[in-house]
């Protein structure tokens, strides 16, 4: 009997049926990136998306899903994540903020906002970030099957890393 995480890998990579479930089995935590196109059957999974797939900033969402009886979590990072490139992401964030005129912030404020709200979710090594966050979730929920996976934004393949 495949686990919910194994089922996700099979649904996504091999389009293995069913296309719909009677009740959810999995919590997926992944990045907000527009290139991620997960193939998930209907009613199979809760999905939480956050920049860099950082579980720490969505802890109440995770607790909510786990408390509903879900026993499996797929933590999915991806290749070419903006959260792994601080200089470029900081520059484009700052530039974008200025050009939109949506906020009355000067450069110092924008930098401070970035340091406060975005920098803590950034990382340098995708594998290490995912395994660290997996271990963190596993320690919070010892009874839950937490797996780390990488989504390749070019091939759209999903791989289990541990
Ligand atoms: Zn990303």
Does residue 115 belong to any structural domain of this protein?
A: no
| Tally of structural domains, the chain | 1
Is 13 contained in some domain?
yes
- Would 33 be classed as within a structural domain? yes
| Distance of CA 29 from the midpoint of ligand 1 (Å) | 11
Ligand 1 centroid – CA 5 distance (Å) = 20
CA of 53 to the centre of ligand 1 (A): 7
Q: Is residue 91 part of a domain?
A: no
For residue 80, give every residue at least 6 positions away whose Cβ sits within 8 Å of its Cβ, in sequence order, or none.
35, 153, 154
pTM for this model (two decimals):
0.93
In this structure, is residue 103 part of a structural domain?
no
Query: If you measure from the C-alpha of residue 18 to the centroid of ligand 1, how many angstroms do you get, rounded to a whole number?
Result: 28
Decide if 147 contacts 74 (C-beta within 8 A): yes
Ligand 1 centroid to residue 131 C-alpha, Å: 16
* CATH number of the domain enclosing 141: 3.40.1050.10
Domain that holds residue 149: 4-82+124-160
Other CB atoms closer than 10 Å to residue 159's CB: what's the count?
13
The rounded Å distance from CA 22 to ligand 1 centre is: 30
Please report how many Cα atoms fall inside a 13 Å half-sphere around the Cα of residue 25, on the Cβ side: 14
The alpha carbon torsion through 133, 135, 140, 141 (nearest 10 deg) reads: 110
Q: Give the model confidence (pLDDT) of 44-70 as tens digits.
A: 999 999 999 999 999 999 999 999 999
Does the residue 12 lie in any domain? yes
77 close to 147: Cβ distance less than 8 angstroms: no
DSSP of 48-70, one letter per residue? EE-GGG-GGGGHHHHHHHHHTT-
Write out pLDDT tens, residues 97-150.
777 765 666 777 888 989 999 999 999 999 999 999 999 999 999 999 999 999
Of 121, 98, 122, the closest CA to residue 108 belongs to: 98
Indicate whether 118 belongs to any domain.
no
Q: Is residue 24 part of a domain?
A: yes
CA distances from 76 to 52, 105, 114 (A): 9, 33, 23
Whether the pLDDT of residue 95 is over 90: the answer is no
């Amino acid at each position: 009997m495949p686990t919910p995480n194994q089922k996700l890998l099979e649904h996504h990579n091999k389009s293995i049926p069913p296309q719909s479930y009677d009740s959810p089995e999995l919590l997926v935590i992944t990045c907000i990136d527009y290139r991620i196109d997960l193939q998930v059957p209907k009613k199979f999974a809760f999905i939480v998306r956050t920049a860099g797939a950082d579980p720490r900033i969505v802890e109440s969402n995770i607790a909510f899903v786990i408390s509903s009886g879900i026993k499996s979590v797929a933590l999915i990072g991806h290749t070419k994540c903006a959260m792994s490139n601080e200089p470029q992401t900081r520059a484009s964030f700052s530039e974008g903020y200025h050009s939109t005129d949506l906020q009355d912030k000067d450069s110092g404020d924008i930098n401070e906002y970035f340091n406060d709200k975005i920098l803590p979710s950034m990382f340098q090594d995708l594998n290490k970030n995912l395994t660290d966050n997996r271990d963190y979730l596993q320690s919070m929920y010892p009874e839950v099957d937490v797996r780390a996976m990488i989504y390749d934004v070019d091939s759209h393949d999903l791989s289990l890393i541990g």
